[in-house]
Structure 1
Amino acid sequence: EDQDNLEIVNDLARAMGADVSCSRPIVDAKWLEKSRQVGTSGQTVSPKVYLACGISGSFQHMGGIKGAPFIVAINKNPKAPIFQVADVGIVADILEFLPELTEAVEQAK
């Protein structure tokens, strides 16, 4: 929705020591470079835990995360297809939830 919102994802990634990847709409909007795109038209990833923030779960994106053994999905739409494959599903607005999660991660260090 707003490129500035990407900063909350970056904050969480920094707190976790993780990398940020994205779906095609983020690349198309030129918010992140194509090398960070996950999906059939991007990269395939296989982290121990894949945290999908606001990802709806398109077929193309799902093809790129099939190597992840544990998927946590956060999406405000309870009917988002990503929840069908997620090991943990959280129905929440990432703009509200991620800052709280980041704070909890920071406090746990």
Structure 2
Amino acid sequence: MRRIIILAAPALLASCGQAGDGYAFDGAEFERRSQPVTVVEHASLHDLRAAAPDEAHVQGRDLMGFSYLRPDGCEIHVTDLRKSAARSWLGHEMTHCVYGRWHK
């Protein structure tokens, strides 16, 4: 099964333009994809980064979450939502589930 890895950022994505996470919405890979979403919580940022595939680690960016887009759904990886600011990262990753790769 083919998987696409989507990189993360540290803040909630605004609907367009530059958001607090430092990313701009450069254009959707697809339009409003609808599928099941699974959220995987990691106990710490260290654990999340250790679980991420090599290609998710981009030089110059601190990995704060990542997503897998699959034909049958989307899987979002963030740190424990009860203990951190991961709730804002969840919004960024959810936008990938809906629109795919939308930032460079």
Quick check: TM above 0.5? no
**The structure with more strand, counted as a fraction of residues:** 2
Normalising by structure 2, we get a TM-score of 0.26
Normalising by structure 1, we get a TM-score of 0.25
**The structure with more helix, counted as a fraction of residues:** 1
Q: Which has the higher contact order (CA 8 A, sep 6+)?
A: 2
